[in-house]
A and B are shown apart, each in its own frame.
Chain A
Amino acid sequence: DQQVKQNSPSLSVQEGRISILNCDYTNSMFDYFLWYKKYPAEGPTFLISISSIKDKNEDGRFTVFLNKSAKHLSLHIVPSQPGDSAVYFCAASGINAGGTSYGKLTFGQGTILTVHP
């Protein structure tokens, strides 16, 4: 049961344009969402996060939008740069009943972003 889904395996964008990466989730207990970026032969690195009490979080060129009613989040990169080419993972977490599991993330399958010069 895939609780976090990234339905687009890949995305190709021209340099300077906007990149929009999408993510859907099914578990209503998720209350914190993150995006990680991964280059080949490296571990994922944290990019940006959002709590379920917000619907938008911005950090420089990166903005994450959360639509709780649709159980959907998206990552916008504006403007896109060739160095942004990487695999982007959406992840989610929530406090388990009776305890906490911070860091126990549920990841999507990833989207390969290619930004062309």
Chain B
Amino acid sequence: GAGVSQSPSNKVTEKGKDVELRCDPISGHTALYWYRQSLGQGLEFLIYFQGNSAPDKSGLPSDRFSAERTGGSVSTLTIQRTQQEDSAVYLCASSPGTWSFPREKLFFGSGTQLSVL
């Protein structure tokens, strides 16, 4: 597809279980981001991948959260031992990552609605 694809669109899990969220960015985009939106809140930055550089993990809320990006394309966000406060919409975005492109014009996926019971 032409856009950013995220799966699953909805995930319901029990407290304490691990979950994996997947993001397939736009082909050719070197930059990939994960954000989350909790109820009534703005989008919160989680992690940023740019090419082969070390990711910027400064937004990850705890060590239960991790993400990887394989082959410079698909990314997986993993949340271990989920808690109820992890319930949110997790959004992935990508961008071309080139200097000439308008900065910060991110292309978002539709998100994964995570519900931790």
Chain A residues at the B interface, C-beta cutoff of 8 Å: 4, 6, 32, 34, 36, 41-46, 49, 89, 91, 93, 101-110
Contact = CB atoms under 8 A, between A and B. Distances in A.
Contacts of B107: 46
A103 B48 contact: yes
8 contacts: A43-B108, A43-B110, A49-B103, A93-B104, A104-B56, A105-B43, A107-B44, A109-B42
A6 B103 CA distance: 22
A55 B41 CA distance: 28
A109 B95 contact: no
A109 B37 CA distance: 9
A49 B45 contact: no
A49 B110 contact: no
A41 B9 CA distance: 9
B26 interface: no
Nearest to A99: B56
Contacts of A6: 42
Interface string B33-65: 101000011111100100000001001000000
